[in-house]
Amino acid sequence: MDYFQSYADLEVHKCMLEDSARNSAYFQAILGNKDIFSGQTVLDVGAGTGILSVFCAQAGAKRVYAVEASDTYQISEEIVKENKCEDIIKVIHGDVDTVSLPEDGKVDIIVSEWMGHFLLHEGMLDSVIRARDKFLRPGGYLFPENATLYCSPCRVPSLNEDWKNVSGVSMLSFSKRLQNNSLSSPLLLNVKPEHILSEPEILLWIDLREATVDDVNCNKIQHLAVVDKSGRYQGICLWFTCSFPSLTSEPVVLSTSAEEPLTHWKQTVVALPVDISVERGQPIAYDISIRRSPDNNRKYGLEVEMLDPDDVVHPEYCTCFKTRCILTRAVLEKYENEQMQE
């Protein structure tokens, strides 16, 4: 037994296991749905330390296949024994794309914690999709069953005005360097809710029951956000939610939004080479794309292009303060009122 597994590997799992929002979402989704799990066969894709497999056993699963490709499978074997689940959980050391499962090779439920930063980056969604096609019985469940990636313009004071006064010293030339360094790759930050400048917009929605690997190669969307609190526009913030099936109660949602307790995913910020004062009602237009890296299937890049809000089509009921939108809204509302009175 190799106790001296790479410290970096252990630290990654430590960080995930210390994320109580993550643990508790899976705990509630699984243990709160014993009717779904009772007597069923489960596949845990990328089982890691095996905690989700133990949840499934505790929820009454008849059989759990905990598939883990890395050496971490050794830890999951220990955890399974420590929790006296050897009769239910079978740890399989291998790649879920190549393993085969015992008996008819099918399962009733797939559980997986596959989400990476900004949902897809360094995640394992492809493996979950392929495992679904190969192993999930028709009508089977996926935990989670859908995922949404959100974005919104935001303030990034930690790259800007936070440095105006460091114990009486102005350090904006330092923050300028931080900012320049941040342009090349997205940042993982703890964004405060008051720094999110508009209602969230959806960049990507994935129904895990239907999605294909090609569906998550590249998504590009043009957004027109309307500022709902005055502030400085310095970046685009991204976060995701996942929701789990439920027969009875409200479905459990795991959210990495700035409004929710911080998770180990934090929020992702694309810093912009600008620092623009914006006010309530002001429209902000941008293109944003999330694209799979050509060099590494598991990596994704984010690209933001700032657009002139006068050059893009505003939605019919746009709430921005541009005269055209105010007039259009007034006309539409008047028309609706007339329709209702007839």
**Positions marked catalytic:** 113, 122
Minimum CB distance to a copy of itself, residue 237 (Å): 20
Q: What are phi and psi of 194, to 5 degrees?
A: -70, -5
Is 134 in contact with 107 (CB distance < 8 Å)?
A: no
Q: Which bin fits 105, alpha (ψ -120 to 50), beta or left (φ > 0)?
A: left
Minimum CB distance to a copy of itself, residue 32 (Å): 12
Nearest CB to a copy of itself, comparing residues 41 and 49: 49
**Distance from C-alpha of 277 to C-alpha of 234, rounded to nearest angstrom:** 9
**CA angle, 117 then 47 then 31, to 5°:** 95
Neighbour count for residue 207 (Cβ, 10 Å)? 11
Binding site for a copy of itself (CB under 8 A): 3-5, 7, 10, 13-14, 17, 20, 23-24, 26-27, 31, 49, 51, 54-55, 58, 75, 78-79, 81-83, 166-174, 176-178, 180-181
Nearest CB to a copy of itself, comparing residues 40 and 179: 179
Minimum CB distance to a copy of itself, residue 105 (Å): 28
Minimum CB distance to a copy of itself, residue 7 (Å): 5
Minimum CB distance to a copy of itself, residue 112 (Å): 17
Structure tokens at 294: 């050509």
Is 189 in contact with 182 (CB distance < 8 Å)?
A: no
Nearest CB to a copy of itself, comparing residues 178 and 253: 178
Minimum CB distance to a copy of itself, residue 78 (Å): 4
Nearest CB to a copy of itself, comparing residues 173 and 248: 173
Nearest CB to a copy of itself, comparing residues 273 and 315: 273
Nearest CB to a copy of itself, comparing residues 99 and 172: 172
